[in-house]
Chains A and B, each alone.
Chain A
Amino acid sequence: MKKYVAFFVAAAFLLGSPLLAVAGEYYGKQKVVYHVNYDDPKQQAAAMRNIQNHINAVGAENLDLRVVMHGAGVSLLKRANDDPDFQSKVINLKAQHVGFKVCNNTLVGKKIDYESDLFDVSKADIVPSGVAELAKLQAEGFVYIKP
């Protein structure tokens, strides 16, 4: 039984040792795009939590991270206008160089004025099409994540 236990301790050590290395070194540089097209506030808040955990693991300096919002997902930045919890989450992520990109098709289709209806959006944050942006970023080597 002793040898049996020793075998697993050794195996666990061998498998686990890379995790002990500095997180940034272990994961290297990453380009990631997060896709948000849903209105559910719980799901949106969870997505922002995921992103923060992702940054914690990889390091903001190693990440080029964008959030692409379109369709119902644009409501995330509407909520950030009214809901202090959403607002602080967005401010914190932006401080760590997360880009929040908004789909122009959605703005036009839903008659949303990004200056008054959405939290802290400038012209540079508007992309012509959310879907096309997701395709373009993936072609540029970004990894797609839908939380």
Chain B
Amino acid sequence: MSDRDDKLSEEMLNALVDGDFPPEEQAEMWARLRADDELTDRACEIRTLKDLVSIAHQDVPAPPEFAQVKRRGAAGSLAVAAAVLLFVVGAILGWQLREVPVGAGDRFVVLDPSGRGQAPLQQEHSDETRIVFHITSPDDVRAEELLDEIEGMLVQFQKEGRALRIEVVAHNEGLNLLRSHLSKHKRHIADLAARFPNLTFVACQNTINRIQVEQGVEVTLIPEAIRTESGVAHVVKRQAEGWAYIQG
């Protein structure tokens, strides 16, 4: 690709993201984009940048809004409330954008395509015990204790013929448990995962992205681990689905 082409497509991408093209050209551009992963990534980057810039400017109008309160009374108060709300929404959006994967090669994997570890329908398995463990500490002794307890439970339920489903969600410093270079429990996990299909290990993708950005290292996971976009959102979802929650 020559410099000129490169520059042209950069401008075109910017214009496309801004919505500057007439509809028919825009449709054609989007089609081209879909066919080209690299172009898609760059369009995403431009989009992210634009959103971040617009969010950065959202809190600037706040001071004049405060000044108008004197003159406008109740309407001014409403405007203040709206500005505060806008700022909060902006901050949340910004926070989420921060988590956009940086390494394009390490794509988010759809949680559990085989259905392993997915919450079954309530009515089908009403007697099934379902527990999500949330691991946030790097403590190896506690991790070992936890794996022993989980194993004990799996064995016990299997012996008694009772349905059990366990997920271990590793998040923040707890991710060490599932990192192939750092985990001290690889063998134990591999053994458990091979013996019990009702046990799933889940890694938080947000944590992985953050470590990769902050420490500049490639995070590799043990083969038993699957990924979820957000560990916190995942344990909240499980609790909403009726799973018991236990912090490791």
Contact = CB atoms under 8 A, between A and B. Distances in A.
B is bound to A: yes
Contacts of B150: 131
Contacts of B74: 3, 7
Interface residues of B, number: 24
Contacts of A46: none
A138 B244 contact: yes
B129 interface: yes
Nearest to B69: A4
Given A35-B246, A37-B142, A134-B244, A71 B69 contact: no
A38 B146 CA distance: 12
B145 interface: yes
Interface in B60-80: 66, 69-70, 73-74, 76-77, 80
A143 to B, nearest CB: 10
Given A1-B70, A4-B69, A135 B152 contact: no
Interface residues of A, number: 23
Contacts, number: 61
B58 interface: no
A3 to B, nearest CB: 5
Interface string B207-224: 000000000000000000
B149 A70 contact: yes
A146 interface: yes
Contact of B156 (A38, A109, A129, A130): A129
A139 B153 CA distance: 16
18 contacts: A3-B73, A3-B74, A3-B77, A4-B80, A35-B246, A37-B142, A71-B145, A71-B149, A105-B149, A131-B153, A131-B246, A132-B153, A134-B246, A135-B131, A135-B244, A139-B129, A139-B242, A144-B245
